[in-house]
Amino acid sequence: MENTKKKKKMSLTTVILLALVLGAVTGALLYSFASGSAGVQKYVVNGVFYVLGQGFIRLMQMLVIPLVFCSLVCGTAQIGGTKSFGRIGGGIIGLYLLTTTLALTLALFFSRLTKPGVGLNLSAIQMSTEKLQTVDRSSIPDTLLNIIPKNVFESMANGDMLPIIVFALIVGVIIGKLGDKVQTVSNFFSQFNDIMMEMTMMVMKVAPIGVFCLIAKTFATVGARAMAPLLKYLLTVLLVLVIQVLVVYMTILWTGARVSPFRFLKKFFPVMLFAFSTDSSNATIPLNIETMEKDIGVSRDVASFTIPLGATINMDGTAIMQGVAVVFISQAYGIPLRPIDYVTVILTAVIASIGTAGIPTVGLVMLTMVLSSVGLPIEGISLIMGVDRIVDMCRTAVNITGDAVCTTVVAKHNGQFDKSIFLSDTRREEPNGSHPDNAETDIVDTMAEEFEETDKKA
Ligand code: ASP
């Protein structure tokens, strides 16, 4: 039985990984041999790949607002009335801020060493400033004020996560406080939450197709050669992202939760892969909560509260990109940064990370805020735009890993972590941290079963 379960889980990871590799190879081949063919570009790259890839992203986006709202209300209502709420809330926000500050410090330190922008021939890179016209250059006070929703329905319609989170937290705390008096409303949110999780399972069944099309389109459009002048920038960002995961997160995990970092990474890898393919922390929320509960052993109540919060305010990968980009642009334009500028970059980028929505490319948009805080030219962003898709995929995987690591530590310190689940090779089957006998199926197993059935039919 155990072996079968393990095999099933392995097959899901393999299928997504396979879709990823096949997508990259297909895209690279199309770029090399068919970039001149208008038909291939129109019907395959911008037709089938675009529609299926974006269709998948839209399906995930469709889930996000109702799911985040309900899961935050339920999570907060469960722990809101308890003494640990302040500890969990304070602990998670403190850890989120700490990891983002560390990420930025590392980014600035390493990019000073590798000097990614020194000697760059600006004229060798195609400048495209048009796309930046649409950039929203929110000031720091406005970013802070926007946390309070003027109209929560407007925020929901616009997908503004921070105000939605604030409102959901308040509703959750009040439900927790009023208890039985508002049982009907509480049941409504909890049952609606179950419906959204079920919907997530259905959407996840098409994940490999979505992943294949998204990656194939990226490689067919950007191609590997376009990245050559920016290789140093790209490698510096990747180096710091890897350090953040392997050194910073693993140290925090080991010292803060006393769990094996390698086991954690092994269990969490499918979530990273998913974030990598979708470019979106928000789209990864359902799978992240599910994995935290069933594979890592964090209680559902804590994960439903900290993961959506982290997907919105904790963006360590994005902060790393912004730190390296600032140094890169300052070197490329020959504008030196003073020590005080580094401090300003850290402060602004931490705020930018809080204000960055967990959807593709927003980190690049928020970079305008960081650049203007130290007087660097905003057009500099056009230098790195060409490779941002690849960087975005990697930083999103780091963004959601940071949320999961901090969540594990906070859960451990508040008695909300079940180590036996973490150590087990099978998934926890029962919902909501309780242990009823009726085991329910989960996203990964359901998908794996589907694939095995398809395999058998084939
Ligand atoms: N794509 C990133 C995320 O969803 C945000 C960004 O850096 O653009 O976490």
> Tens digit of pLDDT for each residue in 16-45?
778 878 888 898 899 888 888 888 888 998
Helix (H, G, I), strand (E, B) or coil at 65: helix
Q: What percent of the chain has pLDDT over 90?
A: 32
Q: What is the mean pLDDT of residues 209-214?
A: 84
Is 356's C-beta closer than 6 angstroms to any atom of ligand 1? yes
Is 281's C-beta closer than 6 angstroms to any atom of ligand 1? yes
Who has greater pLDDT, 304 or 203? Answer: 304
* pLDDT reported for residue 432: 44
Q: What percent of the chain has pLDDT over 70?
A: 80
Please state the atom number of ligand 1 nearest to the C-alpha of residue 318: 7
Q: Which residue from 364, 392, 393, 403 has its CB within 8 A of the most atoms of ligand 1, so it is best to mutate?
A: 392
The answer to whether residue 129 scores a pLDDT higher than 50 is no
The answer to whether residue 94 scores a pLDDT higher than 60 is yes
Q: Amino acid identity of 405?
A: V
* pLDDT reported for residue 360: 77
Q: Which residue from 318, 320, 387 has its CB within 8 A of the most atoms of ligand 1, so it is best to mutate?
A: 318
The answer to whether residue 135 scores a pLDDT higher than 60 is no
Compute the distance from residue 363 Cα to the ligand 1 centre, in Å: 6
Is 232's C-beta closer than 6 angstroms to any atom of ligand 1? no
- pTM here? 0.70
Is 363's C-beta closer than 6 angstroms to any atom of ligand 1? yes
Q: What gap in Å lies between CA 393 and CA 372, rounded to an integer?
A: 25
Please state the atom number of ligand 1 nearest to the C-alpha of residue 396: 9
* pLDDT reported for residue 51: 94
* pLDDT reported for residue 4: 46
CB distance 106 to 243 below 8 Å: yes
Compute the distance from residue 402 Cα to the ligand 1 centre, in Å: 13
The answer to whether residue 3 scores a pLDDT higher than 60 is no
Please state the atom number of ligand 1 nearest to the C-alpha of residue 361: 8
Q: What gap in Å lies between CA 395 and CA 399, rounded to an integer?
A: 6
The answer to whether residue 273 scores a pLDDT higher than 80 is yes
Region label for 360, one of left (φ > 0), alpha (ψ between -120 and 50) or beta (otherwise) = beta
CA-nearest of 112, 59, 80, 14 to 304 is 80
Residue nearest to ligand 1 atom 3, measured at CA: 358
Length of the chain: 458
Is 138's C-beta closer than 6 angstroms to any atom of ligand 1? no
The answer to whether residue 223 scores a pLDDT higher than 70 is no
The answer to whether residue 86 scores a pLDDT higher than 50 is yes
Task: Count how many Cα atoms sit within 13 Å of the Cα of residue 21 in the half-sphere of its side chain.
Answer: 5
Is 61's C-beta closer than 6 angstroms to any atom of ligand 1? no
- The mean of the pLDDT values for the chain is 80
Please state the atom number of ligand 1 nearest to the C-alpha of residue 315: 9
Helix (H, G, I), strand (E, B) or coil at 417: strand
Compute the distance from residue 362 Cα to the ligand 1 centre, in Å: 6
Mean pLDDT is lowest, of 144-148, 240-244, 320-324, 398-402, for 144-148
Q: Which residue from 391, 395, 400, 401 has its CB within 8 A of the most atoms of ligand 1, so it is best to mutate?
A: 395
Residue nearest to ligand 1 atom 1, measured at CA: 360
* pLDDT reported for residue 239: 97
pLDDT confidence tier of residue 224, bands split at 50, 70 and 90: low
Instruction: Kindly provide the b/e burial profile for residues 144-179, where b requires at least 16 CB atoms within 10 angstroms of the residue's own CB.
Output: eeeeebeebeebbeeebbbbbbbbbbebbbebbeee
pLDDT confidence tier of residue 344, bands split at 50, 70 and 90: confident
Q: What is the mean pLDDT of residues 342-369?
A: 79
Residue nearest to ligand 1 atom 7, measured at CA: 363
Q: What gap in Å lies between CA 404 and CA 13, rounded to an integer?
A: 18
